[in-house]
Structures are given as C-alpha cells and as structure tokens.
C-alpha cells in the first residue's frame, strides 16, 4: 500500500523546507570560529574522575575519600572543560561544597555502619548534573528561551528530588535545544554546546549539555528526558550510557515544556552516565515507588534471552542510509553475543519502519483521551501566544529573531500538517506495534542503530530532520531502550547502538548494557585520543 498524493506532497514539502532552511542558514548565519587545528579536550588526570558513581559512593561511605574531595575534583574538571564545551550553563559549586562538607560530617557521626548508609543514602556525596529543563531549586529553568530569561525554579522535579534524597549533590544545570525539541543543543540564551570528541560536531539534543559534560568527564551521572531521542542521541554522539525508561514509570512533573495531547505516552525521563553499573541504581531511585513496576531486583540471565538485530529502517526515502561503520559495529555485537553467550541472534526486518518519521510526526500531534490537541510549537515559542513562523524567519534573516533556525523550522513544518491524521500511517504504527510486542514478549531484546551516522557537524541536522526516526519511532511504540557506547570510529567519534525490549522489561536492556561495556570497553576519555 502506497502513500496517498497528499502524503507524498507532505514528504516533498518536508524535503523542500528543510533544504531551503539549511541553505538560508549557511548563507546568512554568522561563521562559527573554527577550533584550532588538533585542539581537543584535556585528558583526565584525577583518578577520582575515572570511577563510577556506585564506586564513589562506596568509597565515601568507607571514608576512603571524602565527598568534598570528590566534589572538588569535579569542580576542577568542569572549570577545565566547560570553556571548550559550553555544557554547564549555571553552576552551584559553593552550595555543592557546603553539601559535601555536611555529607562528610554525617558519615563521621553515623553509628549504624556502612550498610545503614548504603540502604538510606545509596548515592551519598556523589556529584550529579541536571538537564536545565528539569526543575532544580534555585537554578535557571528556561529550556533555552530568551523570553524565560530570569526564570528560576522554586522546586525540584520528582526524579531530581529523589536523587538528592538518595544523597546525590547537584553541581549545576546543562544546556538544551530551544524548548527541548531539536537534535542539537543550541539556543540564543545560552549558545551552542560542543561535542567533547570533536568541537566541530554536535553533542545531540535535547539533553546535549548532559551528554557533553558527561562525555567530557565533567560529570559521572546525570538526568535527561526523551520524547524523540533526547537521551539516546546525546549519549550516542558523546559515547556514554543512557536509558529511556518505559513511559509512565518516572514522573514528568515540573519539566519545561510540559507534555500535552498524548505526548506523555511517548516521553520519559531516565539516567545518563559514563558507567553502565550506575544505570540500574539510578533508575531505581528516580522511579521511587514505581520502581516495583520494573522488577529491577529480579536477576537476568542473558543466556536465556532471545536476541534480535534490526540492521536499518528498511530504506526510508526520508532518512540518511545507515553508515557502513555503524552496520559493521552492530554486526560485531551480534558475533560477540553469539560467541560469548551461545545464543542465536536472529535478523529481523519491519517494512513499517520505513514510515518511522511519519509515525512519530503523526502521533506527536494526536489529541489526548478528552480530545484536547497538543499545544502548538508556535504557541510554546510565543509563551502562549502563537508566533508567526514566516515573520520569525524574516526576522532571523535580519538577525532580529529571538529564536533559532531549528525552532523556526519546526514551527514552519507545523504548517505542513493538513487534514486528519493519515489512516495509512496509523495502520503502519499499529501493525508495527503488534509485531514487535509479539516478537519481544518478556524475554526478547533487539539491537537497532541509534542514528544513521556518527555525530554530525554543527547545524547539519537542519538538512536531515527525519534522521531522528531511528529513536523517535521507539518513543511512539512505548518501549524501553538503553543506549550503549561501542568504542570509537576511525575519526575518533563514538560508535554505539540501541538495545530495546518489551514494555516494562527495562532490566533486560540494562543487563545487556553491562555486558557490552565489558565486551567493548564502554566510555573512552576524549582527551586520550
């Protein structure tokens, strides 16, 4: 069954608009100052920065190192790398040192022993970075909007509050894309964030500040949110681990912008970190009472799981073909799984994935159960009063718009939507959902590319908008996914893939992440290349 004439027209318009916007951007935007030849991030010198959060907490409880020493080490690292990355847009170093001092005093006075502290405060004294779209008391809460400049949060969002209650110490907040709806973390309020492995490339979005500072060893654990790949793309591009939780488990309260329409069915928060062993304890803490939904304490034997590999989306006319190096690294994962675990990894293909971008785009615009549609992006840009994107485009061309080209482009693409949602696209989604749910069950795991290519250069996503389908489609399907790093390419850029499972089977993908870290080495110091 083929696309209708209207849908073909929409595909053509999408290509035309994105091509026009990219051309205009290249012609009219100011030139970025190129990094000096061979410039790279300083290597990690302090051994405290090369330890997982789980191990740091253990050493702090045992008084092998003080929380103040750990926090100071991360302050020094952030101050060293942030001028290159522009990832942390507001720090709270003084408060963090005071809190670390209180932690050390608490440990000195504790009479119940290490086990009591581990049970009550599993992340006691460990530094934490926070995506700026998450409410963190006393810190900016703008999501990169000039019109929200000066907005400061008076509360903590639930996942952050739970991490703080577990003893984690927030170090600051990190940059996002404007209104958290783009693959690059760039806005006119806080500027452009760079990839720690190559300053000419993007760290991803919208949790790109998190990805960048974690990948650059300026943080050990952090939090992100994901409605179309906003955890997984930054984790892939920056060579770290990240988990998009099954939707409905982690609270979305006190994040900006809020979800509307049916978007809360596709959006979820999750942990981001350099070391795989931190994923599960972080998720358990962030989920609070809902952690029981995921049975995270149940042991997983990888040899009993059924593995599937999906090499690409089947050749969508909208997405960039998956690069040879990413096809090759996924093949190596398959070979390693079969050799080490004695399992058979079955290759499967789903023709419906060719319509992944249209599926994501269609479902993001569906109304909620009461029939209320999502708030238009142009209204979010105007803080409740819709902006006129064509006027904003003209203003941008004259250097007068408060909005990025990416945000203006998304508002323009909204205008392409005409008529009712495509029955054909809805049919493709429902068919794909049924096939994957039946295939995975409660013991199935799949491998899927994270993106068609490694981290693109700055602003290149303007020309390849639909490439987010590799992550976005999984949001619409409501499946948990863990992003796993798999070493570096010949260019020195992170490789990786997504590991997904059936709904509420998050523990399966987290266990696979631990295995892949051991098999492929996990995070690599970008300064050591």
Catalytic machinery residues: 131, 206, 230
- Which three-class secondary structure string do you get for 224-243? EEECCCCCHHHHHHHCCEEE
Rounded to 10 deg, the angle between the 208-215 and 67-85 helix axes is 110
Which residue is associated with the tokens 């030139």?
31
DSSP 268-323: EEEEEESSGGGHHHHHHHHHGGGGGGGTTTS---GGGSEEEE--SSS--SSSPPPP
Q: Cα dist. 374→40, 205, 230, 367 in Å?
A: 42, 21, 19, 6
User: d(Cα 429, Cα 446) in Å, to the nearest integer?
Assistant: 18
Q: Are 501 and 480 in contact (CB under 8 A)?
A: yes
Torsion from C-alpha of 236, 146, 393, 84, nearest 10 degrees: -40
Rounded to 10 deg, the angle between the 67-85 and 93-109 helix axes is 160
The candidate with the shortest Cα–Cα distance to 179, out of 492, 407, 414, 357, is: 407
How do strand 345-347 and strand 481-488 relate by DSSP bridges?
Answer: unpaired
Rounded to 10 deg, the angle between the 423-440 and 469-477 helix axes is 80
Please state the φ and ψ torsions of residue 230, each to the nearest 5 degrees: -70, -15
Q: Are 306 and 182 in contact (CB under 8 A)?
A: no
Handedness of CA 424, 425, 430, 432 (dihedral sign): positive
Structure tokens at 244: 């998009």
Q: Cα dist. 43→197, 527, 528, 529 in Å?
A: 11, 4, 5, 9
Please state the φ and ψ torsions of residue 128, each to the nearest 5 degrees: -140, 135
Residue 392 neighbours by CB under 8 Å, 6+ apart: 381, 401, 403, 408, 411
Please provide the distance, in angstroms rounded to a whole number, between the alpha carbons at the two ends of the chain.
49
**Alpha-helix runs per DSSP H in 110-240:** 114-120, 158-165, 208-215, 232-238
């Amino acid at each position: 069954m083929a696309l209708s004439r209207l849908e073909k027209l929409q595909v053509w318009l999408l290509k035309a608009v994105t091509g026009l916007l990219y051309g205009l951007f290249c012609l009219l935007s100011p030139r970025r100052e190129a990094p000096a030849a061979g410039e790279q991030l300083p290597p990690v010198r302090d051994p405290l920065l090369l330890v997982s959060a789980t191990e740091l907490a253990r050493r702090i409880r045992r008084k092998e190192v003080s929380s103040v020493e750990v926090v100071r080490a991360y302050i020094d690292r952030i101050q060293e790398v942030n001028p290159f990355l522009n990832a942390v847009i507001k720090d709270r170093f003084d408060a963090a040192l005071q809190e670390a001092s209180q932690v050390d005093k608490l440990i000195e006075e504790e009479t119940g022993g290490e086990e009591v502290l581990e049970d009550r405060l599993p992340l006691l004294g460990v530094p934490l970075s926070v995506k700026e779209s998450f409410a963190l008391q006393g810190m900016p809460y703008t999501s990169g909007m000039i019109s929200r400049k000066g907005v400061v949060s008076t509360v903590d969002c639930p996942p952050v509050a739970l991490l703080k209650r577990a003893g984690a110490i927030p170090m600051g907040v990190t940059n996002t894309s404007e209104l958290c709806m783009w693959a690059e973390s760039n806005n006119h309020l806080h500027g452009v964030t760079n990839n720690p492995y190559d300053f000419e490339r993007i760290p991803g979005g919208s949790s790109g500040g998190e990805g960048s500072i974690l990948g650059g060893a300026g943080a050990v654990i952090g939090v992100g949110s994901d409605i179309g790949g906003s955890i997984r793309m930054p984790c892939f591009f920056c060579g770290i681990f990240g988990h998009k939780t099954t939707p409905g488990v982690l609270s979305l309260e006190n994040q900006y912008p809020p979800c509307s329409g049916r978007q809360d069915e596709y959006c979820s928060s999750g942990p981001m970190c350099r070391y795989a062993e931190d994923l599960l304890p972080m998720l358990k803490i962030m989920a609070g009472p809902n952690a029981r939904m995921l049975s995270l304490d149940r042991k997983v034997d990888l040899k009993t799981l059924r593995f599937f590999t999906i090499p690409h989306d089947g050749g969508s006319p909208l997405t960039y073909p998956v690069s040879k190096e990413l096809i090759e690294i996924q093949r190596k994962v398959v070979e390693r799984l079969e050799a080490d675990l004695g399992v058979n990894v079955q290759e499967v293909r789903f023709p419906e994935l060719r319509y992944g971008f249209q599926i994501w785009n269609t479902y993001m615009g569906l109304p909620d159960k009461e029939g209320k549609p999502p708030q238009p992006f142009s209204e979010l840009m105007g803080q409740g009063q819709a902006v006129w994107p064509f006027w904003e485009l003209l203003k941008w061309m004259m250097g007068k718009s408060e909005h990025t080209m990416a945000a203006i482009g998304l508002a323009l693409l909204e205008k392409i939507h005409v008529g009712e949602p495509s029955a054909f696209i809805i049919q493709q989604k429902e068919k794909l959902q049924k096939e994957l749910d039946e295939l995975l069950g409660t013991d199935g795991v799949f491998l899927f590319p994270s993106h068609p290519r490694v981290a693109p250069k700055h602003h290149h996503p303007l020309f390849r908008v639909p490439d987010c389908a590799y992550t976005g489609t999984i949001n619409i399907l409501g499946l948990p996914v863990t992003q796993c790093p798999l070493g570096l390419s010949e260019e020195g850029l992170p490789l990786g893939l997504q590991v997904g499972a059936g709904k509420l089977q998050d523990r399966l993908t987290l266990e696979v992440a631990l295995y892949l870290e051991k098999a492929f080495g996990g995070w690599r110091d970008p300064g050591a290349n």
